[in-house]
Structure formats: C-alpha cells, structure tokens
Amino acid sequence: MATTESYEVIDDAVTIHRDVRQLTNPLTGEPVGFQRGNGATYLQGDILTVEQVAQVYRDALDDKNDPNHEFVSTKLRKTSDEPGENLEARLDVPFDGYEDMDEDDVVRAMSVLPSATIQRIKRYESNKENRSAIVNYSIGFGEHPDERQNTKLDVPEADENKAVGELTTRNVPDGGPVQHGEGVTGTGEPNKPFGSTKASAGEGKGSAPRAPRTRSGRRPRSAPKKKADSTENSEE
C-alpha cells in the first residue's frame, strides 16, 4: 500500500498558500513558476495534502541549501499521516489563563493579538459560552458590533463663550418690518445661507432676537430748475 505524502503543521498557527496556476514565459512558453494564492491559516497538528502546500514551500523543505529551508522547517514537516484538521487544537483553550479572563479582558487582548489567535478565540468561544462581544469581534475594525453603543464616549463640554451659528427663521410680527429668514423661503426673499448669522459670545438660543434695523426714509428731491424761455432771453 502506497504511503500518502502530506505535510504536518508544527507551528502554533501558519498561513499556507496554494499554487493557483502555472506561469509561463510569454515568448518561449516555458514554465517559469507558479502563482500562489488561496491562502488559509492552519493550526498545529493539521495534516495538509500536497495540493494545499505551494511548490515553493515543498522545494524549500526538501533542499537544505535553499535560503528558506530553515524557516519553512519550523512551520512544516513531511508525514505519511492522513490529511485532516486537528480538532483538539480547535476546541482547546486558546492560551493559558483564558478561562480566568472576563469578557472585557478578552476583547482588550484581541485588539493586540495576531489574527490567527483571534480566530482561535472566536472559534473556541462559539463552542463554549458564546459571548457576543467575543464571537462577533471584527478583526478588521478592531472592535465588536456593540462596542460603540455600549461604550461611554467622552464628549467635551460646550464652550458657552464661543460664538455659534444660529438658524434664523422668517418672522412676521404684528407691527414693524418683517424679519427675513435663512435658506429658501419661497417668498421671493434672497437665499441666505443657513447659520450665516453669528450669535455673540455667551448668547444662547433662548436670547431674544435682535431688532431688525429699519430702513431710513428717502431724501426729498429738489424741484428741477425751469429752463428760461427763449423769447424772454431774446428780448433782453
């Protein structure tokens, strides 16, 4: 019976890529290597098939003179065991002392831990207490979905002495001129940008609006001088 050539992960957590397609020289058509991709993270004790391990890793593992041999040798080793996942590693405690940590401590630790370790924590937690803040933790955003609404944010207090923009609405008093509002009023008034009226320092929204300035009356025009009659000028 032929033995199965496979590779065992001997490090805590390793990302291994596959060979996606062979690359060829565009002029001669000769193969020049492989494009790698479809990487996945495997845990210690996982047994991988040959197809799951890119050729560059296999070559480095076989050739002791390869510059990457020493590094790859700390991650993988050849074996004849049947491929499969190490279920114990996936269901075991992610790290020592995990059970003594509360939910907040675990979430804070996840913000600085490697992605592979965070995945182990999420997987372990989903099979145990299934606490939402841990299971639904987002590695990309570095927070869990409920963190923003459950966290008390420190909002600076408003400066009462700072001049702020105020919204002025159209006001038609019983007596006196109309106070024009901001924005498009639909009454033919000019479009005044919102917040363009600045309140004075210390003046709040409850303060009374300033009285609009009245328009001064027109100055009376002097009567035009009459032109002298041409006949009178001729007699003189």
Cβ atoms 55, 22 nearer than 8 A:
no
pLDDT at 215: 54
pLDDT at 78: 92
When pLDDT is averaged across residues 35-48 and rounded to a whole number, the result is: 87
When pLDDT is averaged across residues 115-127 and rounded to a whole number, the result is: 87
pLDDT at 69: 93
Angle (CA) 206 193 198, round 5°: 40
Question: Phi/psi at 111 (nearest 5 deg)?
Answer: -70, -15
Question: Phi/psi at 100 (nearest 5 deg)?
Answer: -90, -5
Maximum pairwise Cα distance, the chain: 147
pLDDT, tens only, 183-218: 776 666 667 776 666 554 444 444 445 555 555 556
List of E strands, 52-186: 76-79, 165-166
Q: What is the mean pLDDT of the chain?
A: 78
- Here the tokens at position 161 are 């002495």
Q: Which has the minimum average pLDDT: 64-73, 94-103, 159-168?
A: 159-168
pLDDT reading at 1 higher than 50? no
Amino acid at 12: D
CA torsion 195-196-197-200 (nearest 10°) is: 80
The rounded radius of gyration (Å) of the Cα atoms in the chain is: 40
Delimit the domains of the chain by residue range: 6-86, 93-147
Of residues 10, 71, 81, the one with CA closest to residue 45? 10
